[in-house]
């Protein structure tokens, strides 16, 4: 019998206000959707408002069959204004919304103690309350679990201190080429991209770094291996959720202990397929 892995995402959940209407978004929820789509038992930990948008988020998660541990602070549900330029999104992320006030209930803590992987980002740590909850969640996860930091440097919502603390919580990191450039300046990293990634791995005791480079492909770096994969040629509708779906497929491959080149190829193919649909969470298969 194939083991059903338990996977957790913690952080922002929100509505992406797209030109053609609103779609459920937020990196942790996208990640959970895709890991579940790929065979995991997944749960999102977040917060929504006591409003219509919050009710719709809860209903949408239920419709997708996603387990959710939500709390309901006295703030509106999160939303992001998305503008598309030739399919490439830009974001205006609104503040003082529910996911700035995430807290862990006992059920969520119980779930985390049994998780095989937990994914978190930098964006949801912009507030002290959610930052504390995320740190507590990572420390509650089992020692064997993958602790995946999916960096998302948005607007002004990051600092050297936040990144250092997040690296120290993680054992797997995913970032893009623009983020690597910013982090290299912040942490005085020199050399090639590969050398910079290995410096980060050594400094923070990381098992693996995934470096995505948009249309230029991606690299996976482990202690002893490096894998490059080009972006598959597809007709792109939009790239929303491409990074989250890549991370999800990569994490599933790591949990299944697939060879690095194999899981990298599958993650690239899966993310490319997501780009052929509108929005971050189309129901697709790996094949």
The residue assigned the tokens 């623009």 is: 178
What CATH architecture does domain 6-274 belong to?
A: 3-Layer(aba) Sandwich (3.40)
Supply φ then ψ for residue 61, to 5 degrees. Answer: -65, -40
Question: Are 52 and 46 contacting, i.e. CB atoms less than 8 angstroms apart?
Answer: no
Q: What is the pLDDT of residue 2?
A: 60
Domain boundaries, the chain: 6-274
For residues 4 and 255, give the distance between their C-alpha atoms in angstroms, rounded to a whole number: 10
Q: How far apart are alpha carbons 178 and 140 in whole angstroms?
A: 31
What pLDDT, on a 0 to 100 scale, did the predictor assign at position 3?
73
More confident residue, 279 or 84: 84
This prediction has a pTM of 0.91
Which strands form 78-85's sheet, in the order they lie side by side? 21-25, 14-18, 78-85, 88-93
Per-residue confidence (pLDDT) for residue 96, from 0 to 100: 92
Q: What is the 3-state secondary structure (H, E, C) of the chain?
A: CCCCCEEEEECCCEEEEECCEEEEECHHHHHHHHHHHCCCEEEEEEECCCCHHHHHHHHHHHHCCCEEEEECCCCCCEEEEEEEECCEEEEEECCCCHHHHCCCCHHHHHHHCCCCEEEEECHHHHCHHHHHHHHHHHHHCCCCCEEEEECCCCCCCCCHHHHHHHHHHCCEEEEEHHHHHHHHHHHCCCCCHHHHHHHHHHHHCCCEEEEECHHHCEEEEECCCEEEECCCCCCCCCCCCHHHHHHHHHHHHHHCCCCHHHHHHHHHHHHHHHCCCCCCCCCCCCC
Report the pLDDT value the prediction gives residue 224, as an integer from 0 to 100: 92
Region for 257 from its dihedrals, namely left if φ exceeds 0, alpha if ψ lies in -120 to 50, beta otherwise: left
pLDDT tens-digit map of 118-170: 999 999 999 999 999 999 999 999 999 999 999 988 878 899 999 999 999 99
Please tell me the distance from the alpha carbon of residue 3 to that of residue 216, in angstroms, as a whole number.
34
Give residue 16's pLDDT.
Answer: 81
| Weakest-pLDDT range from 10-19, 30-39, 144-153 | 10-19
Residues 269, 234 contacting (CB under 8 angstroms): no
Q: How far apart, in whole angstroms, are the C-alpha atoms of residue 280 and residue 259?
A: 27
Take residue 150 and report the two structure tokens written for it: 């999916």
């Amino acid at each position: 019998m194939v083991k059903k892995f338990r996977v957790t995402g913690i952080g922002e959940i929100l509505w992406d206000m797209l030109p053609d209407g609103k779609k459920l978004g937020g990196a942790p929820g996208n990640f959970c959707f895709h890991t579940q789509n790929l065979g995991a038992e997944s749960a999102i930990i977040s917060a929504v408002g006591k409003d219509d948008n919050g009710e719709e988020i809860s209903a949408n998660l239920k419709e997708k069959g996603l387990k959710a541990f939500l709390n309901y602070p006295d703030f509106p549900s999160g939303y992001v204004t998305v503008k598309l330029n030739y399919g490439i999104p830009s974001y205006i992320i609104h503040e003082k919304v529910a996911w700035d006030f995430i807290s862990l209930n006992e059920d969520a803590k119980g779930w985390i103690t049994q998780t095989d992987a937990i994914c978190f980002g930098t964006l949801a740590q912009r507030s002290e309350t959610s930052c504390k909850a995320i740190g507590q969640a990572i420390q509650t996860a089992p020692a064997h679990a993958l602790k995946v930091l999916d960096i998302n440097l948005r607007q002004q919502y990051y600092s050297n201190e936040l990144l250092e603390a997040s690296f120290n919580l993680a054992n797997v990191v995913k970032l893009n080429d623009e983020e690597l450039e910013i982090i290299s300046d912040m942490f005085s990293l020199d050399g090639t991209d590969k050398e910079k990634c290995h410096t980060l791995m050594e400094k923070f005791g990381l098992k693996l770094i995934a470096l995505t480079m948009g249309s230029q492909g991606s690299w996976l770096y482990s202690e002893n291996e490096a894998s490059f994969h080009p972006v598959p040629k597809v007709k792109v509708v939009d790239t929303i959720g491409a990074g989250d779906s890549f991370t999800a497929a990569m994490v599933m491959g790591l949990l299944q202990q697939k060879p690095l080149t194999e899981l990298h190829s599958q993650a690239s193919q899966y993310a490319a397929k997501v780009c052929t649909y509108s929005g971050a969470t189309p129901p697709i298969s790996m094949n």
